[in-house]
């Protein structure tokens, strides 16, 4: 699936605005942060290609979490697929799901392999895999309306809380 909303300067604005706080809540330990980044790389590499936009986003997340450039490259080169560490904090689970889907979409293409891994990870976080499809639709709709990613995330959070309740 080709996505037209992730291009040019809009892409840079979206990256910077969506990176509000990927470590809020339960992700405080270095191992958890590294695991989170490894999960994101798993999605990004699923199509056998790391797009420059994917790498840029992952590097920004790593920096935000205090992971230095050298450790970032070690994680990037690691072929190991770790078990996901599930945060206790429900907000952080939302953030993880959003970032999983964002990484899947950021290169302007949704590869079926990326989507499958994304759905598996979301299921491991105790959410229905259909949340991935809902979020893709939600992000596309909001971007087409010119709504910024943080507002999109807030709306997604509301949607999940409604489904949970």
Write out pLDDT tens, residues 57-108: 899 999 989 999 999 999 999 867 778 888 888 778 888 998 999 899 988 8
Q: How far apart are CA 142 and CA 65, in angstroms?
A: 27
Residue 1 counted as domain residue: no
pLDDT of residue 132: 93
Count of residues in the chain: 165
- Spatial distance between the Cα atoms of 75 and 37, rounded to a whole number of angstroms: 8
| pLDDT confidence of residue 153 | 81
Structural domain includes residue 98:
yes
Alpha-carbon distances of 73 from 52, 67, 77, 125, rounded to whole Å? 14, 10, 6, 26
Residue 156 in domain: yes
User: Helix or strand or coil: residue 126?
Assistant: coil
Q: How many domains does the chain have?
A: 1
Q: Is residue 14 part of a domain?
A: yes
Predicted TM-score (pTM) of the model is 0.78
The reply to whether 2 falls in a domain is no
Burial of 49 (0-12, 13-18, 19+ CB in 10 A): exposed
- CB contact set of 96 (below 8 Å; sequence gap of 6+): 36, 39, 87, 121, 125
**Domain membership flag for residue 3:** no
Residue 15 lies in a domain: yes
* pLDDT tens readout for residues 113-122: 999 999 999 9
CATH number at residue 93: 1.10.3680
Higher pLDDT, 85 or 26: 85
CB 26 within 8 A of CB 88: yes
At 165, is the pLDDT very low, low, confident or very high (cuts 50, 70, 90)?
low
Q: What's the pLDDT score for residue 8? A: 42
- Which residue would you say has higher pLDDT here, 128 or 147? 128
Nearest Cα neighbor of 105 from 64, 152, 63 is 152
Greatest mean pLDDT range, 77-81, 109-113, 140-144, 161-165: 109-113
Average pLDDT for the chain: 80
| Per-residue model confidence (pLDDT) at position 82 | 79
pLDDT at 37: 94
Q: Is residue 38 part of a domain?
A: yes
Confidence class of residue 55 from pLDDT cuts 50, 70 and 90? very high
Query: What would the two tokens of residue 49 be?
Result: 């290609």
Q: What domain range is 130 assigned to?
A: 8-164
């Amino acid at each position: 699936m080709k996505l037209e909303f992730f291009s040019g300067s809009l892409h840079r604005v979206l990256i910077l605005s969506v990176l509000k706080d990927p470590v809020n809540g339960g992700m405080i330990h270095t191992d958890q942060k590294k695991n989170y980044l490894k999960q994101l790389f798993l999605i990004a590499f699923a199509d056998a290609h790391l797009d420059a936009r994917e790498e840029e986003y992952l590097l920004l997340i790593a920096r935000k979490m205090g992971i230095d450039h050298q450790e970032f490259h070690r994680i990037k080169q690691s072929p190991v697929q770790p078990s996901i560490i599930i945060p206790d904090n429900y907000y952080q689970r939302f953030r993880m799901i959003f970032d999983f889907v964002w990484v899947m979409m950021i290169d302007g293409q949704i590869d079926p392999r990326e989507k499958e891994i994304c759905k598996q990870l979301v299921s491991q976080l105790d959410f229905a895999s259909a949340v991935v499809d809902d979020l893709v639709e939600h992000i596309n709709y909001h971007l087409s309306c010119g709504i910024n990613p943080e507002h999109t995330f807030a709306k997604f959070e509301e949607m999940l809380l409604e489904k949970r309740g």
